[in-house]
Structure 1
Amino acid sequence: MNLIMFVGDPFSGKSFLADKIKSFLEAEGNAVFILKTVVTRYKGKKNILFTAQNVDESIESTRIEKDKSYRALLPLAKRVLKQGGVPILDATFHKKYRREWIYRFCKKNNINLLVIHAIFTDKNAIIEQMVLRQANQDYKDNLLASIEAYELMVKQKDLLSAQEIQEYNLSVIQFNRDEKCINLSNFKHDVAFFNKVAGFLQKNI
């Protein structure tokens, strides 16, 4: 059984990569399901503008609400895996303790875990992308309402550190959108299925 988890800030390219990987794996004959916390949190509502209050982890009600949306991914992923599919968790996972829920879930259920860490730090490009998305009536994703909300999420995140990668023996593909490159220095080649994903990304990014 295999599970893919994304880690990264908003606008880092997570959803873009998730869609690309899904299409590739489906063409290979796999059943793939992208699971998003914005769906578990807002029950599929579209065009939601997240204010700083919606994302502020120092507000207890917000933190509890976000915790629930992340925990809700676990039974959904379990259902997909039970049916022989591959779940892709498309969320920021910017708090370490939430990532650890997935680490423990995978270890307990003997699931191969691939972490894809997306990085993008070009603030001017992020602001431009934010404005364009908000102006596009056809854009169906959920949006941060301001650069302040984005900066707050970045400020409050727990970095995916080398220590964490070593502690949980993680296999990680790093996608650096700033440099348009893939880093495999923390990728483990012992799972053939994930080697296919890594090979696809190397050829197409």
Structure 2
Amino acid sequence: MLLIFVDSCSDDEKTVVVLVGLPARGKSYISTKLSRYLNWVGINTRVFNVGAYRRLQMKDYNDHSYFSDENNEGVALRQKIASEALDDLISWLTSDVGRIAVFDATNTTRERRLWIMERCKTHNFQVIFVESICKDKNLIQENVLEVKVNSPDYKSIDKEEALKDFLKRIEHYEKRYESIDDDLDKDWSYIKIFDQGKRYLANRIEGKFFLFCFLVGEHCFLNCRTVGWSQHK
């Protein structure tokens, strides 16, 4: 069934999948899985990971203070890096080869998401947000311990210290985090994933239902329980 939805997509249609969510919520996992699958079925897809752009520019990671809104230099640098990643995404998607681009970053404020939409709108790209919401502390800790403390940011740091630093990083993001609002953002196309697949909410995903099928299917999470539809008029 998934292949039918994929084959029905227009070759001329360009789409940006924008990840949303706090750190350690599985955004990069979703991005990688989605990209691999779409490329496998013949849709040229590429992930633009803002964290990777940051690590290219910042050879040495210091500590969580870089992610604090009180760090003006860090705020400016984060915006600059996000802009560069989005510029590359747009350049690639406007080429003849690109069809679906995945913007893998936290994108935790409505202001940031509006900025992305405006940039994409000028090129007539379709935008669909995928927000990963996880409040299960066990799942979060598992992800942090298995993935984040082993990231390049902490290559020369003791795991216990890395864990403390990363949890502080999450706290910085929590202070400014704004989830996609089902009323305020009712005209947006988005999919919300709760606790790594226990529940889903989809809004205005006409023409992109295959993305929803992928996320709900076995390709990402295996414990889907509840699916919700939201179609605002």
Match 1:147 to one of 167, 175, 191: 167
| Distance change in 2, residues 1:118/1:135 (3 Å) | closer
For residue 36 of structure 1, what is the aligned residue in structure 2? Answer: 49
One-letter amino acid matched to 2:86: L
TM-score normalised according to structure 2 size: 0.74
Give the equivalent residue in structure 1 for 2:91: 79
Q: How does 1:10-159 map to 2 (within 5 A)?
A: 10-43=23-56, 51-83=63-95, 84-85=97-98, 86-133=100-147, 136=150, 145-159=165-179
How much does 1:19 deviate? 1.1
Taking structure 1 as reference, are residues 100 and 24 closer, same or farther at Cα in structure 2, changes over 3 Å only?
same
Q: CA deviation at 1:49?
A: 5.6
Moved more, 139-148 or 16-25: 139-148
Equivalent pair of 2:15/2:127 in contact (CA under 8 Å) = yes
Matched residue of 1:53: which SS?
helix
Question: Cα 1:125–1:177, aligned 2, differ >3 Å: closer, same or farther?
Answer: closer
Query: Number of aligned pairs?
Result: 196
Shift of 1:135: 5.9
- Under a length normalisation based on structure 1, what TM-score does the superposition of the two structures give? 0.83
Q: 1:22 to 1:170 in 2, by over 3 A?
A: same
Q: Deviations over 1:143-195 (max 9, x none)?
A: 873322212211222332224413xx2110111125523222x2331x2xx21
Q: Secondary structure at the match of 1:21?
A: helix
- 1:200 and 2:214 correspond: yes
Q: Which runs of 5+ in 2 are unaligned?
A: 1-13, 155-161, 222-233
Q: Which has the larger radius of gyration?
A: 2
CA deviations on 1:76-130 (whole Å, 9 max, x unpaired) are 1112212231210000001222211111012221111111011112234423432
**TM superposition shift of 1:30:** 1.3
Shift of 1:34: 0.5
- Point out which structure has higher relative CO (alpha carbons under 8 A, 6+ apart): 1
Partner Cα distance (2:147, 2:39) in 1: 28
Aligned residues: CA RMSD:
2.5
Q: Give the equivalent residue in structure 1 for 2:188.
A: 170
| Contact 1:182–1:201 under 8 Å retained in 2 | no
Q: Distance in 1 between matches of 2:216 and 2:58?
A: 34
SS at match of 2:25: coil
